[in-house]
Structure 1
Amino acid sequence: MGDLSGVALVTGAGSGIGRAIAEGLAARGMAVAGLARGEARLREAMDEIATATGARTLAVTADVTDRAQVETAVEEITEELGRVDLLVNNAGRVDAAEEPLWETDPDQWWDVVSSHVRGGFLLCRAVVPWMVLRNRGRIVNLASGMSLRARPEYSAYSVAKTGLMRMTEALAGALEGTDVRAFDVAPGLVRTPMTEAMPMWRGVTDWTPPDRVVAMVGAIAAGELDAWSGRFLHVNNDPIEELRARVPEGDGRRLRLRPYGDDDPLG
């Protein structure tokens, strides 16, 4: 389609949603840097995307929770492709088993939270200052239905996705007055190795097509959904044409307490 330009950085780009987004952005004209921990799979994915789309791609191996690795990765991307115009924070883990919080492995639980929250933070910290300096950029944090309501059997993932959503709102608020925007995008239930491994989704056949996720990220990259910066969007429930035509009001699509009644002092 060739209607986008600039450089995109997509984390977790070796497979699943991240790979789909990377390929979709490349097909629309962006140079795409994919970042992931698994070098062989990532390089294969980015090479295949380059062959299929003719776009410039770069595979960069890094752990998103390691500050030094993230900073080195962003430096490499800048040298090879240029400054990042679109950051997609997609990388992240999920609870190893469906079990209550007190039965989980503490280290694995924290690794899940860190992969989303620390990972998103470190990528933003490395990329956003240059977006602000150039007064141009978009950040997409991959959200979830669990950003809004906790699943007791997936406590780490629920905490992680809610934390990332709070980060998006804080980031968007700090960026007011600039042409840099941040968004939460819940991709729906896309068929990936991670979702297929989750017992709660066994037997599911109604998967969300990855193209829908790509279309929403592309609309954000094109600046079509700027009014929704700092707010929650859902691929399955938010037709892009309706989002384009609507301006949210007040605290719509933000996490807030619900009053217990008309006399609630926090209402």
Structure 2
Amino acid sequence: MADLSGQVALVTGASTGIGRHLVEGLAARGMAVAGVARTEDRLRTAMAEVAAATGARTLAVAADVTDRASVEDAVGRVREELGPVELLVNNAGLIDELEVPLWEADPDQWWDVVTSHVKGGFLLARAVVPWMVLRNRGRVISLASGMSTRANPDYSAYSVAKTGLMRLTESLATALEGSDVRAFDLAPGVVDTPMTRSMHMWQGFADWTPPEQVVQIVAAIAAGELDQWSGRFVRAGKDDLDVLRATTPEGAARQLRLRPYGDDDPLG
């Protein structure tokens, strides 16, 4: 495993699912890890279990990622107790609980899904990235999805949210060009989590992506091994890590773009 000793990570949605796997995997590689989630008791239990299992320094910070003051207070506490954040993983987010076409969706619930991902990712980056820029060192990873790149009739809010995160990542990466602060989109694949099992589209599914594959890509990004993929989309469970390390994408590869309708397309 990559040795990430001395680095500090902040993972949102850390108390369960993919976030919980990331916290433990990064701690096992020597990182001090702060976990952020809304449910304090469950978060404290998860972070204490990781500390006991790995011997790493952990910190549980209850916060609402969609609330500016809550996010700023949480990031300030992490910085004071663990040190400057060198790896931010935007993992927190809701799904479309009703799983219906958008015209049947509850508007407030639909917007809550989008807000949890996009506003949450924006507020965390806004609070963390300035300190990364000041030190000229840092990596930001947003958890993307296959639905970032294609529509789903029953998960319109989740699709919009994950697509928005991809555009946010590319904007951030472009603004950071010339520095040693990078931003990435990582789709974790279909990991066996309570959230995934709650989604109708995955009922009966068995070909789960091992969570360790997600951790391995996150750790490689934290180690600076995939910097050439900044501003782009990678996918655990499909992308081979050695191939990613050896490949330098060009042009708009793995970025959101309109496809021209033909050679005469004026927008092509």
Corresponding residue for residue 172 of structure 2? 171
The code of the aligned residue for 1:180 comes to V
Segments of structure 1 that go 5 or more residues without pairing to the other structure are: none
Question: Which residue number corresponds to residue 107 of structure 1?
Answer: 108
Cα distance in 2 for partners of 1:2, 1:38 equals 31
Aligned to 1:63: 64
**Partners of 2:32 and 2:260 in 1: CA distance:** 46
* Residue matched to 1:198: 199
1:23 is matched with which residue?
24
Work out whether 1:218 is the aligned partner of 2:219.
yes
**What's the CA shift string for 1:74-100, capped at 9, x where partnerless?**
011111100100000000000011110
RMSD in angstroms over aligned alpha carbons? 0.7
Gap regions ≥5 residues in structure 2: none
State the distance in 2 between where 1:150 and 1:93 align.
Answer: 17
1:155 matched residue in structure 2: 156
Does residue 45 (structure 1) correspond to residue 46 (structure 2)? The answer is: yes
**Residue deviations 1:31-87 (CA, integer Å, cap 9, x gap):** 000000011110000000000000000000000000000000001111110010000
Q: CA deviation at 1:150?
A: 1.1
Does the 8 A contact of 2:210 with 2:237 survive in 1? no
* TM-superposition CA deviations, 1:174-214 (whole Å, max 9, x none): 00000000000000000111110011110011111100000
Which position in structure 1 is the counterpart of 2:140?
139
Contact 1:2–1:27 under 8 Å retained in 2: no
Deviating beyond 6 angstroms after TM superposition, the runs of 4 or more aligned structure 1 residues are none
Aligned-pair CA distance for 1:2: 6.6
* Residue 121 (structure 1) aligns with: 122
**How many corresponding residue pairs?**
267
- Determine the C-alpha separation between the residues in 2 that align with 1:208 and 1:226: 23
Please say if residues 190 and 209 of structure 1, whose CA atoms lie closer than 8 Å, have aligned partners that are also in contact.
Answer: yes
- Aligned residue type for 1:86: L
C-alpha separation in 2, matches of 1:252 and 1:201: 28
Structure 1 length normalisation: TM-score? 0.99
Quote the Cα distance in structure 1 between the aligned partners of 2:245 and 2:193.
29
Separation in 1, partners of 2:143, 2:162: 8
Aligned to 2:34: 33
Q: CA deviation at 1:236?
A: 1.7
Give the Cα–Cα distance (whole angstroms) in 2 for the partners of residues 85 and 38 of structure 1.
24
Q: Distance in 1 between matches of 2:31 and 2:170?
A: 26
